[in-house]
């Protein structure tokens, strides 16, 4: 079967499935929400099963067919692109779809490309570091050939104007970026790791630019991180291809909270711990910090466990990242502490920000979600930076609603003395500007950058 015939065949199959979906949805409008949800998740489950089955048989045209059906589609606007979704980046995409009148973003989980690479090329490739991968010309050529076919078909089927990704050091996306550059397809990267204190922009960028940027434009949250990239070792980055756009989900949160009244709870109903493993906090920092951070991680999880036992009428949530090893780390850590109380839930499911909204106290360390909790007027418990950690936290000084852990009793005392009435009605814009550009419109600057690119 030649290339043209294959493409026409996959388009035909795709149209048949879309027609089936439209007819099904029209019928389901007349049944209750519960049945509609069951159908939706059943439909996704069905597609996932067939996608993985096609990987086993290595029939690429069928794999692309099901991959295309797994795209989360939005109503098409004047400019239409594909986002390669991942965890918190999905929240930014949701906000952009909601707030932009002219740009729409379909969303396809970037992790699907991991499965493509491991099944069609080799299971060992993703074990390599990004530096090792860049030197592996033989496998890079194989992956480029595979990815070229997949992206070509997705673009042809959906007529996307651009592709947007988060970060540019994911191994699985190197050849997507290269294919787009080679074929003059706008490829934007939203740098989600740049939400950090100005003091550490250089360290973070020095680590990031060990890998060369491949793409049309790098979108960053603040002027400080832009300056660090423009003055970095990667001489291909300049004022023309690095743009400040803020952080859509955070800007949207600022706007929403200006219109909301603070809940006047007199007691705590839910406490959230933003769980972490020590290794993920040592990426950019001196290894001298390692023992201290291992102990810190242990103590923070034990704090939640002990308070859950002391306060049986309060819900405690330990929210981990999605990969299994994060939840396994917590379960192993607490395994010697006795039976887990019924009011303590350890979960990797759901969005962290949704748990933040439902919680009264948010406990965490060196994560951007704490900034979201700050904007959402939550009481925060965190760690004050010091020489042992080798970093300063997001909140290195006292701000309204921000508290620091000093010993094992800090969380207990915070719950005991909790009073949400002490919170300001609006958090400091100056604090927010330390980390990201606070904008009146979450989508404005990204829309503007897309116009510039597509006009060329």
CATH of range 73-246+434-456; options 3.30.1370, 3.40.50, 3.30.9, 3.30.450:
3.40.50
- pLDDT confidence of residue 42: 61
- pLDDT confidence of residue 255: 78
Q: Write down the mean pLDDT value for the chain.
A: 84
Confidence of residue 250 (pLDDT cuts 50, 70, 90): confident
Topology alike, domains 73-246+434-456 and 262-424: yes
In this predicted structure, the answer to whether residue 450 has a pLDDT above a threshold of 80 is: yes
Per domain, the residue ranges of the chain are: 1-70, 73-246+434-456, 262-424
Q: Where are the alpha helices (DSSP H) in 123-245?
A: 130-135, 137-158, 174-182, 201-208, 223-230
- pLDDT confidence of residue 390: 46
DSSP-derived secondary structure for 333-365 = HHTTS-SPPTTEEEE--S-HHHHHHH-SEEE-S
CB 58 within 8 A of CB 119: yes
- pLDDT confidence of residue 36: 47
Class for domain 262-424, per CATH?
alpha beta
Condensed to tens digits (0 to 9), the pLDDT of residues 33-79 reads 555 444 455 677 888 888 999 999 888 999 999 999 999 999 999 99
Condensed to tens digits (0 to 9), the pLDDT of residues 294-337 reads 888 999 999 999 999 999 999 999 999 988 889 999 999 999 88
Euclidean distance between CA atoms 424 and 441, whole angstroms: 23
Confidence of residue 436 (pLDDT cuts 50, 70, 90): confident
Looking at the DSSP bridge assignments, the partners of residue 382 are: 404
The more confident residue out of 14 and 121 is 121
Nearest Cα to Cα of residue 147 among 171, 175, 188, 169: 175
């Amino acid at each position: 079967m030649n290339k043209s015939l294959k493409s026409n065949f996959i388009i035909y199959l795709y149209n048949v499935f879309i027609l089936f979906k439209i007819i099904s949805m029209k019928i389901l409008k007349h049944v209750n929400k519960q049945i509609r949800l069951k159908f939706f998740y059943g439909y996704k489950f069905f597609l996932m099963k067939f996608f993985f089955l096609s990987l086993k048989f290595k029939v690429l045209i069928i794999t692309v067919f099901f991959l295309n059906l797994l795209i989360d589609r939005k109503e098409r606007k004047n400019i239409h692109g594909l986002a390669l979704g991942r965890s918190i980046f999905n929240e930014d995409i949701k906000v952009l779809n909601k707030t932009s009148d002219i740009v729409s973003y379909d969303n396809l989980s970037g992790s699907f490309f991991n499965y493509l690479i491991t099944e069609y090329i080799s299971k060992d490739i993703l074990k390599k570091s990004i530096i090792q991968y860049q030197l592996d010309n033989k496998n890079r050529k194989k992956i480029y050939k595979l990815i070229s076919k997949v992206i070509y078909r997705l673009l042809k089927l959906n007529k996307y104007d651009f592709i947007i990704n988060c970060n540019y050091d994911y191994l699985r996306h190197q050849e997507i970026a290269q294919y787009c550059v080679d074929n003059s397809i706008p490829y934007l990267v939203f740098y989600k790791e740049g939400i950090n204190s100005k003091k550490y922009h250089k360290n973070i960028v020095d680590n990031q630019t060990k890998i060369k940027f491949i793409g049309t434009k790098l979108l960053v949250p603040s002027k400080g991180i832009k300056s660090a990239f423009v003055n970095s070792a990667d001489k291909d980055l300049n004022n023309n291809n690095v743009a400040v756009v803020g952080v859509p989900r955070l800007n949207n949160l600022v706007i929403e909270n200006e219109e909301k009244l603070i809940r006047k709870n007199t007691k705590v109903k839910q406490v959230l711990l933003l769980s972490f493993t020590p290794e993920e906090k040592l990426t950019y920092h001196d290894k001298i910090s390692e023992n201290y951070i291992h102990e810190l991680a242990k103590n923070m999880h034990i704090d939640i466990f002990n308070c859950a036992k002391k306060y049986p009428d309060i819900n405690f949530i330990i929210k981990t990242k999605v990969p299994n090893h994060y939840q396994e780390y917590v379960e192993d850590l607490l395994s010697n502490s006795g039976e887990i109380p019924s009011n303590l839930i350890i979960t990797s499911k759901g969005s962290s920000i949704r748990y933040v909204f439902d919680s009264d106290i948010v406990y965490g360390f060196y994560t951007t979600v704490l900034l979201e909790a700050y904007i959402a007027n939550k009481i925060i418990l965190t760690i004050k930076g010091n020489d042992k950690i080798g970093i300063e936290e997001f909140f290195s000084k006292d701000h309204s609603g921000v508290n620091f852990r000093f010993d094992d009793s800090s969380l207990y005392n915070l719950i005991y003395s909790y009073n949400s009435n002490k919170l300001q009605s609006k958090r400091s814009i100056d604090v927010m500007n330390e980390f990201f550009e606070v904008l009146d419109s979450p989508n404005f600057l990204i829309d503007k950058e897309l116009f510039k690119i597509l006009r060329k």
